[in-house]
Amino acid sequence: MAIKKPLDETSHLYLIDGSGYIFRAYHALPPLTRSDGTPVGAVQGFCNMLWKLLEDLKGEDAPSHLAVIFDHSGKSFRNEIYDQYKAHRPPAPEDLVPQFGLIRDATRAFGTPCIELENYEADDIIATYARMAEAKGAKVTIVSSDKDLMQLVSDRIDMFDAMKNKRIEAEQVVEKFGVGPDRVIDIQSLAGDSVDNVPGVPGIGVKTAALLINEYGDLDTLLERAGEIKQKGRREKLLAHAEDARISRQLVTLKTDTPVTDEMDEFGITDPDAETLVKFLKEMEFRTFTRKVEEALGGPVADETGDATAPIDRDSYECVTTMKQLQAWIEKARTAGVIAVDTETDALSATASGLVGICLATAPGEACYIPLAHVDPEGSGDMFDTGEKPDQIPMDDAIAALKPLLEDPAVLKVGQNFKYDLSVLARYGIDVAPYDDTMLISYVMEAGLHGHGMDELAEIHLGHQCIAFKEICGTGKNQISFDKVPLDKATQYAAEDADVTLRLWEILKPAMVSKKKATVYETLERPMAKVLSDMERVGVKVDPDQLRRLSSDFAQKMAAAEAAAHEAAGREFNVASPKQIGEILFGEMGLPGGKKTKTGAWSTDVTVLDQLAAEGHDLPVALLEYRQYAKLKSTYSDALFDHINPQTKRIHGSFSLAATTTGRLSSTEPNLQNIPIRTEAGRKIREVFIPEPGHVLVAADYSQIELRLLAHIAGVESLKQAFRDGQDIHAMTASEVFGVPVEGMDPMVRRKAKAINFGVIYGISAFGLANQIDVSREEAKNFIDAYFEKFPGIADYMERMKKEAKDTGYVETVFGRRCHFPGIRDKNPNMRMFAERQAINAPIQGSAADVIRRAMIRMDDALRAANLDARMLLQVHDELVFEVPEDQADRLIDLASKVMGEACAPALELSVPLDVDAKAGKSWAEAH
């Protein structure tokens, strides 16, 4: 044990308010759990703060002595003075409780004294030591932002807010209380504190208290001369509550003579013992932080290969260019039983790119790259190119050798976003199985907390920065495809991906098992990679001639609308520029528009232009017309044409499995989930989606799936019954809420009820509903109240989700999918309310997403068993689109409806039926 330095006038003592810090860290930081489920978010926040403090303060303000002070659990002497003290405090959140002990362990692991005292609060102990050190002539810094400690500030004592990184001295105290530190107690005695339940004098806040104290000097004088106060209210309040003020003073005055036993000399600072600290941090699974500490303290840095957290060495990877080498790796892979696989291609598209190379990793740090289609890096690819290629194994030989391994049921293949590799390898005749996907494992544990791309996961879990793709291939128009990358560089980049993937799997897979998310992963995520890979490779047929005709038709209509707009405006301008439109409408024409966007620009969206059009103006009509056709042309007719694959003549979009917070899929390049349908002109786009000759398209969609799930989850008996009876649910809602009969109902009334039903799913607010159906906010409020009354269970459901999200940071779907909302603890109330609405919506939207995933996963087998030659083409959240020979359409409709309707069984028995509407047609429009 190092000899500690006695505390004297040259010393600088740091006293850390451990308890205060715990609560702030807990509320400010996203929830984080160790792989065994123990919550450790606040522990990490605490360790970071302590470490940063020790690192940052190595300069002139460096602590010579340091201790962390905690509240002792249970009551303190203040409860004897006033039994209501801190009586309103809710108990500590469930996931914070186990962290109290861990944070004390952390303090000790840092080699720092950890102090608490029965019957006293941390503040009293801090006050005692601070005054003791001050008396010895030392400097003191109290690390806390608690205003109750500000009474201690003096020439030699200051405070430091570690989260805001801000010093608090006398000047900041005056800012806060309007008086110097010596009078802070008087202010608090008068103003009280609702959080600690210190009564004070009712009606007097900090501002008034400061005014009074500055006038009368101190609390005793003020209370003696209270009768002289001119304002009647204040005078009477003070006279009536003088005793409360005196009790409050006893409560807020910190004790400076607590019977502390630890000597300050023992607080002398020493470097933490690397071994102890690293051991603790590893137990907490703070990987990035552990490495940082290891490097700084020069402790035992793990370097054995085989350890997922060992440093990554890009130069250790092997470039495989002979069959002999390849055979050796295949042998090694079979022995390992689990390997990471990554494919490199000459383009981004999984459905249109050529295979360039394959990487394998058999253990952390043991990876190879097998180049297959690299070309001469210097070659320009033009007619002068010599066509000289680097030595590599012929594609066919490599594929033939790898196929048995990649299809071997005894060897688990691990990938990152493996749907991509499945697609590429499938086009070379390899049906990879079994497999795991680190992206999807991460997604089931952490959806909503961060992205799940490899670079991000490597940074989070391994503290490692992967080589960026653009470092290898460049960016913009100078970008080269991967087959032109020299083999040495390609090996470093590509094999690193496989290495990282395998390491991530070693960390994430056990973590997922202890978090009990393996079932969600195995039943809702992993199988989807293959389902979607198959679907994307099939693609969907469009009529290219019809698309061309539509584009030119839209172009004509745009030109006409543009001319009309210029005519109406009286001059030429860019009709596509919202900025210029705003200037003309609300500047030059001086129309009353009102709405501004959040950046302060005039809003010119469809609601604004519709309003102006309804008032009889011509320009907004022309603009709306222009916008409609511009949208259809650029986003749909032109873009879809460009996405036709020249080989297959079909469009192969990509569906993302881990992009949303709720478990829905998303669709890109092109987005096939937002093809128009609501307007007549838009439907023309849907007519372009067609089947092969002799086939039809079948569209099958769930009817009201989200409302049905809401009825089930919230347990709303009347709603459930209505669904069982096959009623028109919006009409039924209207009848209940507005008290009108279903027979002969005004369509407007039904429309309003429909809006309420949707609103409920979205986390309704009176303002939002009022906006949607154009009624006053009061009226909207009445509708909502009536709704809650008629359907008991809904309001309760909403409260439950808000609470669950607040307590745990997440909510779950009926199948156990977890959706996280870090914003639920944001200090900004708007962010919080936003997160609350998300938490209300997510279990409904997410459960619906789970249901259709289950149906999709079963569909392939069901089609085969029924001998149907149908292929699944698209998913649009509550709808599946198939292509099937004409004469099998009816059978497909029956089968798809059955699989979709029974998708919950046997895992879950839903208390409402899931109805499916399915129809066949010669285009997607017709199949609706």
Partner DNA sequence: GTGTTCACG
Partner DNA sequence: GACGTACGTGAACACC
Nearest to DNA of 501, 604 (CB atom) = 604
| Beta pairing class for 666-668 and 879-885 | unpaired
Name residue 435's beta-bridge partners. 413
DSSP type of residue 828: S
- Interacting stretch for DNA, rule CB under 7 A, among 63-71, 360-368, 412-420, 752-760? 752-760
> Around 123, how many Cα atoms within 13 Å sit in the side-chain half-sphere?
19
Using CB under 7 A as the binding rule, whether residue 620 contacts DNA is answered as no
Q: Does 923 bind DNA (CB under 7 A)?
A: no
Window 443 to 472, contacts with DNA (CB under 7 A) = none
Task: Please tell me the distance from the alpha carbon of residue 805 to that of residue 802, in angstroms, as a whole number.
Answer: 5
Site stretch for DNA (CB under 7 A), options 162-170, 504-512, 520-528, 575-583: 575-583
Angle at 104 between CA 103 and CA 107, to 5 degrees: 90
* Element holding 184 (H helix, E strand): helix 184-191
Structure tokens given for 219: 């609390």
Which residue number, 113 or 846, has a Cβ lying nearer to DNA?
A: 846
Instruction: Please select the residue that binds DNA; options are 765, 807, 862, 922, rule is CB under 7 A.
Output: 765
- Is position 674 an interface residue for DNA (rule: CB under 7 A)? yes
Near DNA by CB under 7 A: residue from 579, 649, 724, 803: 579
Residues 66-125 that bind DNA (CB under 7 A): none
What lies within 8 Å, CB to CB, of 488 at 6+ separation is 319
Binding of DNA by 240 (CB under 7 A): no
The residue range among 230-238, 239-247, 531-539, 594-602 that interacts with DNA, by the rule CB under 7 A, is 594-602
Member of 6, 30, 451, 768 binding DNA (CB under 7 A): 768
Pick from 97, 606, 614, 907 the residue near DNA by CB under 7 A: 606
How would you classify residue 763: left for phi > 0, otherwise alpha for psi between -120 and 50, otherwise beta? left
Cβ-based burial of 518 (10 A; exposed 0-12, middle 13-18, buried ≥19): middle
Q: Residue 334: which residues within 8 A CB-CB, separation 6 or more?
A: 405, 408, 410, 411
Nearest approach, Cβ of residue 643 and DNA (Å): 9
Please give the DSSP secondary-structure letter assigned to residue 493.
H
Question: Does residue 8 touch DNA according to CB under 7 A?
Answer: no
- Is 631 a binder of DNA (CB under 7 A)? yes
Tokens of 40: 């450790």
Cβ proximity to DNA, 50 vs 632, nearer residue: 632
Tell me the closest approach of the beta carbon of residue 389 to DNA, in angstroms. Answer: 34
Give me the least distance between CB of 284 and DNA, in Å please. 30
Kindly state the smallest distance separating residue 753's Cβ from DNA, in Å: 11
Q: What would the DSSP string read from start to end of 257-268?
A: -----S-GGGGB
H-type helices in 5-76, by residue range? 18-28, 41-56
Residue 256 is a binding residue for DNA (CB under 7 A): no
Q: Which one among 675, 794, 895, 918 touches DNA, defined by CB under 7 A?
A: 675
The token pair at 401 is: 């050798």
CB of 926 to DNA, least distance (A): 15
- Asked if 764 touches DNA (CB under 7 A), the answer is yes
Q: Please report how close the Cβ of residue 365 comes to DNA at its closest, in angstroms.
A: 32
Binding range to DNA, per CB under 7 A, among 110-118, 158-166, 483-491, 828-836: 828-836
Using the rule CB under 7 A, is 843 a contact of DNA? no
> How, if at all, do strands 157-161 and 166-168 pair?
antiparallel
Nearer to DNA, 292 or 631 (CB): 631
Pick from 241, 837, 854, 871 the residue near DNA by CB under 7 A.
837
Q: How far is the CB of 606 from DNA (least distance, A)?
A: 4
Between 174 and 795, CB nearer to DNA: 795
The answer to the question of residue 528 lying near DNA (CB under 7 A) is no
Token look-up 């350890």 returns 307
CA atoms within 13 A on the CB side of 912: 29
SS3 17: strand
Hey, which residues does 541 pair with through a beta bridge? Answer: 650
Judged by CB under 7 A, does residue 763 bind DNA?
A: yes
> Does the protein bind DNA through residue 479 (CB under 7 A)?
no
* Near DNA in 644-673, by CB under 7 A: 656, 659-662, 664, 666-671, 673
Rank residues 82 and 573 by Cβ distance to DNA and give the closer one: 573
Class of residue 28 by CB neighbours under 10 A (exposed 0-12, middle 13-18, buried 19+): middle
Question: For 457, phi and psi rounded to 5 degrees?
Answer: -65, -40
Give the one residue of 574, 717, 887, 905 binding DNA; rule: CB under 7 A. Answer: 574
Residues 154-213 that bind DNA (CB under 7 A): none
Note whether 755 binds DNA by CB under 7 A.
yes
From the list 4-12, 631-639, 733-741, 897-905, the region that binds DNA by CB under 7 A is: 631-639
Q: DSSP letter string over 665-722?
A: -EEESS-TT----SSHHHHHHHHTB-PPTTEEEEEEEESSHHHHHHHHHHT-HHHHHH
Query: What gap in Å lies between CA 320 and CA 394, rounded to an integer?
Result: 12
| Binds DNA by CB under 7 A, chosen from 47, 50, 716, 756 | 756
By CB under 7 A, is residue 827 in contact with DNA?
no
Contact 28, 80 (CB under 8 A): no
CA atoms within 13 Å, Cβ hemisphere of 250:
14
Per CB under 7 A, 838 contacts DNA: yes
Cα gap 364→501, rounded to integer Å: 9
Question: Which member of 767, 776, 778, 905 binds DNA (CB under 7 A)?
Answer: 767
Site string for DNA, 877-896 (x = CB under 7 A): xxx-----------------
Residues 772-811 touching DNA, rule: CB under 7 A, are 772, 777
Nearer to DNA, 770 or 859 (CB): 770
Q: What is the nearest approach in angstroms of DNA to the Cβ of residue 683?
A: 8
User: Angle 93-98-104 (CA atoms, 0-180°, nearest 5)?
Assistant: 120
Whole-number minimum distance, CB 627 to DNA, in Å?
Answer: 4
Segment contacting DNA (CB under 7 A): 17-25, 213-221, 350-358, 597-605? 597-605
Q: Taking CB under 7 A as the criterion, which residues in 851-880 touch DNA?
A: 876-879
> For the window 691-710, what string marks contact with DNA as x by the rule CB under 7 A?
----------x---------
Candidate residues 478, 599, 647, 867; the one interacting with DNA per rule CB under 7 A = 599
Q: Please, which residue, 379 or 451, has the CB nearer to DNA?
A: 451
- Percent helix, strand and coil across the chain, each to the nearest 5: 50, 10, 35
Q: Interface with DNA includes 684 (CB under 7 A)?
A: no
Tokens of 334: 């079979």
Structure tokens at 120: 């006293």
- Give the integer Cα–Cα distance in Å for 295 and 209: 52
Stretch binding DNA (CB under 7 A), from 490-498, 523-531, 678-686, 906-914: 678-686
By the rule CB under 7 A, 577 interacts with DNA: yes
Of the residues 77, 82, 428, 758, which one makes contact with DNA according to CB under 7 A? 758
The one segment of 239-247, 266-274, 626-634, 721-729 that binds DNA by CB under 7 A: 626-634
Give the shortest CB-832-to-DNA separation in angstroms: 10
Q: Which residue do the tokens 């199949």 mark?
A: 927
Judged by CB, which is closer to DNA: 186, or 879?
Answer: 879
Contacts 24+ apart (CB under 8 A), 780-786: 783/737, 783/752, 783/756, 784/756, 784/759, 786/736, 786/737, 786/738
What residues have CB less than 8 Å from 653, skipping those under 6 apart?
536, 539, 540, 643, 667, 668, 669, 670, 671, 672
All residues at 6 or more sequence positions from 679 whose CB lies less than 8 Å from its CB, including other chains: 628
Structure tokens, 653: 């979009």
